[in-house]
Amino acid sequence: MQPCHVAIIGAGSAVGREILQVFEERVFPAQALSLLDTGEAEGTRQTFHDHNVVVRPLTKGALEGVDLAVFAAGAEQSRDYAPQAVSAGAVVIDCSGAFSLDPQVPLCVPEVNQDVLHQHRGMVAVPHSATVQTVLALAPLHAAASLKRVVVSAYQSISGMGEGAMREFDQQMRDLLNFRPPEMDAFPHQLAFNCVPQCGQFLDNGYTSDEMALIEETRKLLAVAELPITATAVRVPLMHGHAVAITLETEQPLSPDAARDLLQVAAGIVVQDDVTQLYYPLPVRANGQDDAFVGRIRADASVPHGLHLWVVADNLRRGVALNVVQVAALLMA
């Protein structure tokens, strides 16, 4: 890879800091680095290869001369500034979801569909973190036996909502343990010691925005536009790590043992599946790891060609940051 000027927009966010850390760990050849953000993050400092880098305000001028612009801020900032970055000559990787379903923008998880990167016109999108771990598990099974129907239940941690939500959850825990009523701003209901069946905003069809993102992004990544897939997303009282329970049907027979063999050699997947030893994926073990972990692989007794899977991953690292850096390395190769 040639050295390049990298900009991270949303550098002060939890996911922005995670992306910066993975760039550093992977020794990405950033000849110059711009950290950009708005609000409270402006003027703060972050460390990259033992150098302090000041987070500067996000402006159109700050994007001049950038080769690779990673948008880890909200969808509004991506819609406002990502096209400007492309016009200024940068290749954009967007994490916000603003462009993930745009037919002109490739959506990429490199282990699944890195070939789509050849189609980019200056911008590539990466999917929602829950989608990443879902398609990593589904792709090898689909290639072997063709998916017929998929049902996903996503149990999403708080860190995907950002710093404000994490602070609020921490305060809710403190309040409840000290017999005080919890504050609620980031969450529609108390989340501490509770589960809330809402991730994102409700849409006219009764699904939430996160649920529809998981459905449509999975279809796009697997290149099966009409795949029957449905999803329910639940916010759980866990700071880090998403878990998804997947029920799937295939067109061709696929036994649990055959599925296990396929997943054991699949890129980005680690199988943890020995119920005799109570060994299965747990979010606390996935934290800080680069893989998605699959277990509880078993036949669905209610249909002829059905399977159940349990998939866990670090939502910030595996779900976003690693995906971004892998895409960046392929784009800059």
Query: Are 189 and 279 contained in the same domain?
Result: yes
CA dihedral 105, 107, 112, 116 (to 10 degrees): 10
Helix (H) or strand (E) holding 149: strand 147-156
Q: Decide if 243 contacts 133 (C-beta within 8 A).
A: no
Query: Are 289 and 327 contained in the same domain?
Result: no
Query: Are 153 and 108 contained in the same domain?
Result: no
| Domain membership of residue 285 as a residue range | 131-315
Which SS3 state, helix, strand or coil, does residue 23 take? Answer: helix
Distances in Å between the Cα of 144 and the Cα atoms of 41, 221, 229, 247 are 47, 16, 18, 16
Per-residue pLDDT of the chain (333 residues; tens, 9 = 90+): 677 999 999 999 999 999 999 999 999 999 999 999 988 888 899 999 989 999 999 998 999 999 999 999 999 999 999 999 999 999 999 999 999 999 999 999 999 999 999 999 999 999 999 999 999 999 999 999 999 999 999 999 999 999 999 999 999 999 999 999 999 999 999 999 999 999 999 999 999 999 999 999 999 999 999 999 999 999 999 999 999 999 999 999 999 999 999 999 999 999 999 999 999 999 999 999 999 999 999 999 999 999 999 999 999 999 999 999 999 999 998
Which residue bears the tokens 């700071």?
239
First to last CA, the chain: 5
At residue 1, the pLDDT reads 66
Residue 292, Cα to own-chain centre: how many angstroms?
A: 11
Q: What CATH number corresponds to the domain at position 161? A: 3.30.360.10
Query: Are 194 and 100 contained in the same domain?
Result: no
Instruction: State the total domains in the chain.
Output: 2
Q: Decide if 306 contacts 247 (C-beta within 8 A).
A: yes
Query: Are 177 and 197 contained in the same domain?
Result: yes
Query: Are 165 and 116 contained in the same domain?
Result: no
Q: Decide if 330 contacts 300 (C-beta within 8 A).
A: no
Structure tokens at 144: 């072997």
**How is 190-206 classified by DSSP, letter by letter?**
--TTS-BS-SS-B-TTS
Query: Are 203 and 263 contained in the same domain?
Result: yes
Residues belonging to the chain: 333
Return d(Cα 20, Cα 6) in angstroms, integer.
Answer: 10
Query: Are 196 and 102 contained in the same domain?
Result: no
At residue 314, the pLDDT reads 98
Query: Are 213 and 271 contained in the same domain?
Result: yes
At residue 165, the pLDDT reads 96
Query: Are 224 and 324 contained in the same domain?
Result: no
Query: Are 278 and 142 contained in the same domain?
Result: yes
What's the whole-model pTM score? 0.96
Query: Are 227 and 99 contained in the same domain?
Result: no
Return d(Cα 147, Cα 132) in angstroms, integer.
Answer: 17
At residue 38, the pLDDT reads 87
Q: Decide if 11 contacts 20 (C-beta within 8 A).
A: yes
